[in-house]
Chains A and B, each alone.
Chain A
Amino acid sequence: MESITPILEFKKTCVSYTKQTMAVKYVSAAIEKNSITAIMGPSGCGKSTLLRAVNLMHNLYSNIRVDGEILLNGENILSMEPIDVRRRVGMVFQRPTPFPTMSIYDNVLAGFALNGIRLSKVEKDATVERCLKSVALWDEVKDVLNKKGTFLSGGQQQRLCIARALAMKPDVLLMDEPTSALDPIATKHIEELLLELQKEVTILIVTHNMGQAMRISSKSMFMYLGELVEYGDTAKMFSEPADERTKAYLTGKMG
């Protein structure tokens, strides 16, 4: 058995919107490096809220509080600068969000432009090619790199957004239901891509789709009413869930 290095660790992480309502309650879990971890649960269970805590997205909204600790390579994210955290933790959203005023080429490099990092033309070309190849989009768009990103199909746009996140070489990639706005074929492409990508980045994916969790993740979290009910090997969770609530959700009795 190889030793497990947790790249990301939740320690009694809590997220609250107001003093009364806690959306995420004392979640503790260690995420291993170069794995895909799925976060499942019914709507409103706090799975997206937990995910968004990892790249300090909640800092954008003054009414949201995050307590506890979230460790990235042993360092507490919550006491780090949001900008530094977000460069190391990429995110892909539910709806594809290519920047509409930028070309495909510039979209891939948006992270550098937004951070004021200057690259030479050679570095730019290399980065664009590497990132678009790693999301299997290069062959489809290599001749239209100067076209607007919004001209692509939904699935292509989402892959462009993944490429954009990968360009910053993040340690962790957060995905908030990245395929829920896509058709089954585009979804399949993205899933195959993620299995490939876990070699270079640790993926934390929120999904509504139990099949998807089963197909791609090695570990799964099941959340309910803000609590982490169960966390363990995906295969085991699906075959013999330890908690009644997990079982009810996985068998479709609760959703």
Chain B
Amino acid sequence: MNDKLYKVLLFIVALIMPIVCGGVVYALVTDAYDAFEHFGFFRFLTSSEWSYTEGAEQYGALPFITGTLMTTLLALVFCIPFSLPVALFVGEYFRDSRIAAVLSTVVDLLAGIPSIIYGLWGFYTLRPIIMALNISPQGSGILTASLVLAIMIIPYASSLSAEFIKMVPNDLKEGAYSLGATRLEVVRNVVFPVAGSGIFSSYVLAIGRALGETMTVTMLIGNTNDMPNSITATGNSMASIIANQFGEADGLRLSSLIAIGLILFLITAIINMVGKIMIKRARIA
């Protein structure tokens, strides 16, 4: 009897999580409905107008989707040359050594720094440098946000990649060494191909982190609502436009912001799901 009660209780508690998740999606969909109905789902996605002149309101998500994709992809590009060597250092070259333990702890520490701190650092340290280098006149913009975002996702990409690199069986590496391979050749021809899908999936998860990052991006991207025309231009990401405008918005504008939130939620959910499925596959193989 007691056992049964316990089971029922467990079941109810466990059920709460999917209900909460469903509730979030339901609220997003109902609140975003107005915007989609008014502008049409497809037009909302592809319009780059964002004007709140009363009576002639026009809202489209394209500049912000573009802003999010640009910052995320740039962050990924900047992240790879640092996270991959760190992963190789920790997972292969200095594996199980004290220096690797120190390095991975420090890198993991980066993941624990609150995003507001990254934002402040970016604003007061990186932005003046960008200005001094004449890269962009205002200092803030997509490039600045991407650089800081890259630092933020390095620990996610590198620690998971290192785990997959460590999982490459020693027999296999010795097999390659026994044929006269150098360490570099073993890494290139055995470690990377074997750990490849795992490494790839860790970058997919890192992308998932970058897509939704709000505070840092809001502080550094420049917060303009036009379509960004270069990587040094200012703009807004999906997360940053919501953070900037939700307090003062109502009616159709609020609904449009929530619609952007829904799209962001969907993109992030899909990316994370893909990443997790890939990790599972990589672990089995």
B176 touches A95 (CB 8 A): no
B176 touches A83 (CB 8 A): no
A116 touches B179 (CB 8 A): no
Interface size in chain A (residues, C-beta < 8 A):
28
Cβ-closest chain B residue relative to A87: B180
Contacts of A110 in B (CB 8 A): 176, 179, 189
Give Cα A116 to B184, complex, Å: 12
Considering only residues 212-240 of chain A, those with a C-beta below 8 Å from chain B are: none
A122 CB, nearest partner CB in chain B, Å: 22
A-B contacts, CB under 8 A, total: 71
In the complex, whether B246 has a CB less than 8 A from a CB of chain A is no
Contacts of B169 in A (CB 8 A): 97
Cβ-closest chain A residue relative to B172: A97
Give Cα A86 to B186, complex, Å: 14
Contacts of A114 in B (CB 8 A): 176, 179-181, 185-186, 189
In the complex, whether B125 has a CB less than 8 A from a CB of chain A is no
The main secondary structure of chain B at its interface with chain A is helix
In the complex, whether B84 has a CB less than 8 A from a CB of chain A is no
Interface size in chain B (residues, C-beta < 8 A):
20
B179 touches A86 (CB 8 A): yes
Contacts of B182 in A (CB 8 A): 83
In the complex, whether B193 has a CB less than 8 A from a CB of chain A is yes
Contacts of B193 in A (CB 8 A): 99, 101-102
CB within 8 Å for A116 and B185 given contacts A93-B171, A99-B190, A101-B193? yes
Against B, the Cβ 8 Å flags (1 = close, 0 = not) of A109-147 are: 011011110000000000000000000000000000000
Considering only residues 188-204 of chain B, those with a C-beta below 8 Å from chain A are: 189-190, 193-194, 196
Question: Which residues of A are at the interface with B, using a C-beta cutoff of 8 A?
Answer: 55, 57, 60, 82-84, 86-87, 90-91, 93-95, 97, 99-102, 110-111, 113-116, 161, 164-165, 168
Question: Which residues of B are at the interface with A, using a C-beta cutoff of 8 A?
Answer: 169, 171-172, 174-182, 185-186, 189-190, 193-194, 196, 285
